[in-house]
Amino acid sequence: MKKTGWLLTAALLLSGCQQLDGKEKQESHQEKNVSEKQSPAKEASAGPKLEAAYFNKIKEVNGKKVITNPENIMVLVNKQFSLPGDYTPPDLVRPKVAFSFGEQDIEKSHMRKEAAEALEKMFAGAKQEQIQLFAVSGYRSYKRQVEIMNNQIASAGSFEKAAQAVAPPGQSEHQTGLTMDISAESVNFDLLQSFETTKEGQWLANNAHKYGFILRYPKGKEKVTEYMYEPWHFRYVGVKAAEEIFRHGWTLEEYFNNVEKI
């Protein structure tokens, strides 16, 4: 009887261990499945990704880094990266929006087609909310940049001081055809920092990204952009990048510092 009882007890214990082992294996398998299911989510939130074609391609010309793919919609133009002096966007059009200078068809009333269409949608969206915007200055040729810089040097007294307010020729985003300076009647159609306090300026700051535009030179980022705060200067980069930049509070420079090239 004692031997039989011992064998029965051992069998029960062994059976219990096998059941426990099976349960542990099942739980372990479930945990693995959960972990595997969570991995893609972690990867998806790892950060923005951008195709290599949207990064600057550069060649050195007389000590300057000149962009060789200026037609790139994400082109990064600043005091480090210059556009070729002979570059003119191939698809410039005049957006169907209100301009501060009326119906004149002049150089600064043009933008690249994709950006122009996005600008039209943005102005229409603003109008639906009783916000009246006016375009002031879009495309700016290299030749025009030289004229503006010379005038600024004459006023400021030196190239260094002039370059704090005006982009050196070839380093102006306006040459890309992807930028528009925007104002309102409330500030007499001028380009002023006080524009940020107007309902028009505030609407743009909070909504431009929905249409693919970013506030290119934000307040507090002067050391990054190397330009003063310009609440009127909006640059088209496409909706996906604009929303990412807006969400993180980045400049375009900071976006490229954080985005992963794929």
Distance separating alpha carbons of residues 237 and 211, to the nearest angstrom: 9
Type of residue numbered 262: I
Is residue 159 within 8 Å of residue 79, measured between CB atoms?
no
- Is 230 catalytic? The answer is yes
Residue 227 CB coordination number (10 Å): 21
**Neighbouring C-beta atoms of residue 224, cutoff 10 Å:** 16
User: Which one of the listed residues 24, 230, 244, 254 is annotated catalytic?
Assistant: 230
Contacts of 81 (CB under 8 A, 6+ apart): 56, 58, 65, 66, 67, 171
Q: Which residues are catalytic?
A: 230
